[in-house]
């Protein structure tokens, strides 16, 4: 390891991963997922994980690798509709699931990273999402209390990082990654390119390096989740 830079995802994770830990995993569908760190967690074999992620990957890729290896005990998610193994485990009672409206999940991560223990939102009022949650009325409208989320480990995927861990994401990969990067007690970022400190325009940095403890470089498969094509005109 040279400063924050690690030779591999396995090196970055081997002394921070443990059974029963909570992991935030960035990405949306298969866009911007930390695929190298996910594969390394599978290789390490840590189990009883609580994973906070918008979705659970697909069968055989992304977080689907950890699901099929029975390493995940609980998912805190928004959308999980592309994974048949997830569906099977959940319906059979093998997997715990905490569903969140997508914006609520993003704000819970952002709040956790900002040190905010909770916030009130109208989203979910009058639905099962509100069951068991504190409710208050503001200006005649009912809101429910949602708690901020933090994790033992946050794994994120960026386009470029410098030696200090400053990150820039590429287009849609700037989804859950920035908020999750701030909410991990340890944050590991995998990137396509590492550049020298000072090479990035400070005004273009999305995640400051103070949030990132370790950094590693690809290559990445960047699999397409749903390929839609049209016949030539």
Annotated domain spans of the chain: 9-116+148-217
β pairing state of 72-77 and 96-99: parallel
Give the CATH number of domain 9-116+148-217; options: 3.40.1080.10, 3.40.50.970, 1.10.150.120, 3.40.50.1860: 3.40.1080.10
What does the pLDDT look like over 130-168, one tens digit per residue?
999 999 999 999 999 999 999 999 999 999 999 999 999
Q: Look at residue 1 in the predicted model and tell me its pLDDT.
A: 56
What does the pLDDT look like over 3-38, one tens digit per residue?
899 999 999 999 999 999 999 999 998 999 999 999
What does the pLDDT look like over 113-131, one tens digit per residue?
999 999 999 999 999 999 9
pTM, two decimal places = 0.94
119: left (phi over 0), alpha (psi -120 to 50) or beta: beta
Mean pLDDT of 204-221: 96
Q: Look at residue 186 in the predicted model and tell me its pLDDT.
A: 98
Q: Look at residue 2 in the predicted model and tell me its pLDDT.
A: 65
Report the b/e string of 136-175 with b at 16+ CB within 10 A: eeeeeeebbebebbbbbbbbbbbbbbbbbbbbbbeeebbb
């Amino acid at each position: 390891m040279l400063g924050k830079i690690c030779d591999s995802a396995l090196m970055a994770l081997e002394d921070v991963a443990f059974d029963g830990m909570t992991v935030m995993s960035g990405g949306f569908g298969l866009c911007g997922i930390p695929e190298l760190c996910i594969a390394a967690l599978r290789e390490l074999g840590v189990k009883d994980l609580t994973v906070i992620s918008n979705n659970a990957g697909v069968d055989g890729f992304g977080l689907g690798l950890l699901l099929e290896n029975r390493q995940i005990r609980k998912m805190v998610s928004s959308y999980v509709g592309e994974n048949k193994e997830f569906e099977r485990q959940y319906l059979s009672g093998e997997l715990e699931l905490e569903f969140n409206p997508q914006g609520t999940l993003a704000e819970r991560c952002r709040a956790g990273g900002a040190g905010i223990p909770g916030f009130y939102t109208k989203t979910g009022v009058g639905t099962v999402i509100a069951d068991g949650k504190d409710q208050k009325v503001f200006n005649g409208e009912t809101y429910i209390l949602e708690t901020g989320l933090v994790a033992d480990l946050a794994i994120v995927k960026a386009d470029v990082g410098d030696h200090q861990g400053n990150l820039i994401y590429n287009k849609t990969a700037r989804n859950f990654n920035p908020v999750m990067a701030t909410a991990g007690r340890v944050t590991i970022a995998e990137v396509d390119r590492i550049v020298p400190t000072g090479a990035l325009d400070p005004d273009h940095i999305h995640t400051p390096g103070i949030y990132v403890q370790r950094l590693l470089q690809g290559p990445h498969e960047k699999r397409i989740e749903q390929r839609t094509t049209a016949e030539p005109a």
